[in-house]
Structure 1
Amino acid sequence: MTASVTLDHCVIHVSDWDRSEEFYREVMGAEIIHEDVGFAIRFGEQQLNCHGPGKDAVPLARRPVMPGNSDLCFRWHGPIAGAAEHLAAKGVAVELGPVERRGALGSGRSVYFRDPDGSLMEFISYDG
């Protein structure tokens, strides 16, 4: 029998808990789940666990990701112009886009921006 898997969660590292919580809640629309080792950022059934200063998580990757080293793409539901407008309203600069990209569902349009630590963030839309 072949196993069937989907991504449940992955880990990012933040340098400032409060600043990151505000960004992911206000800009990304995430639900923040507070835990003993920091917090998790939840988007429906997907989750990012956060590691950061003053919290010891076990186990860790052999070479844990550092703040600003992540490259994450999130699906934007609706036209990509709405994503760019949303980022502008939140004071977040678009670094690139809209540009054509391929994602998990095929061809889409993306805008790129940064989280407070400098990680590259992408919104991709399959809706135009």
Structure 2
Amino acid sequence: MTFIDHLDHLVLTCVDLAATKRFYVEVLQMQVETFGEGRTALKFGNQKINIHVRGGEFEPKAHLPVPGSLDLCFIAAVPLDDVISHLKRCNWPILEGPVERTGAVQKIRSVYVRDPDLNLIEISEPI
């Protein structure tokens, strides 16, 4: 038995806060939240991504906070074909997919994109 239940948040280090917010809000349709002393987070479901800008990270921080080092997989709330259509409307390039992958609890169908810092973003639906 494990004592970990779920992920609450993770921290993404970016170079350009405005470009990062634009991608995650317009392309991935997350909500921006300001908290603490002007900190920024991106909310989706019951989770969030806290944003650090390179050189202005909040303490404590990762040992080597580097933009572009994340590889994240999100499960879509809508069919993947709707996600693909939305990405095309946003003129956001799909690197790969749709392809079948193995998710945490079942097989998934995924597409891959990159955010402005070149983090690899996988968007999936259960199959």
TM-score by length of 1: 0.89
Structure 1 moving runs of 4+ over 3 Å: none
Summarize the alignment of residues 55-74 of structure 1 with structure 2, pairs less than 5 Å apart.
Answer: 55-64=56-65, 66-74=66-74
Pair 55,34 (structure 1): closer, same or farther in 2 beyond 3 Å: farther
- Distance between the aligned counterparts of 1:74 and 1:119, measured in 2? 13
Using the TM superposition, give the Cα deviation of residue 89 of structure 1 relative to its aligned residue in structure 2, in angstroms: 0.7
2:10/2:49 contact within 8 Å kept? yes
The Cα RMSD (Å) is: 1.8
Matched residue pairs, number?
126
Distance in 2 between the 1:2 and 1:111 partners? 31
Is the CA contact 1:37–1:56 (under 8 Å) kept in the aligned structure 2? no
Given that 1:68 and 1:117 are in contact with CA atoms closer than 8 Å, whether structure 2 keeps it comes out as yes
Taking only the aligned residue pairs, the percentage that are identical comes to 37
Deviation, 1:60, is 1.0
Answer yes or no: is 1:118 the counterpart of 2:88. Answer: no
Instruction: Assess if the C-alpha contact under 8 Å between 2:54 and 2:67 holds in 1.
Output: no
With normalisation by structure 2, the TM-score equals 0.89
> What 5-or-longer segments of structure 1 have no aligned partner?
none
Give the aligned residue type for 1:107: K
Q: What is the rounded CA distance, in whole Å, between the counterparts of 1:124 and 1:56 in structure 2? A: 30
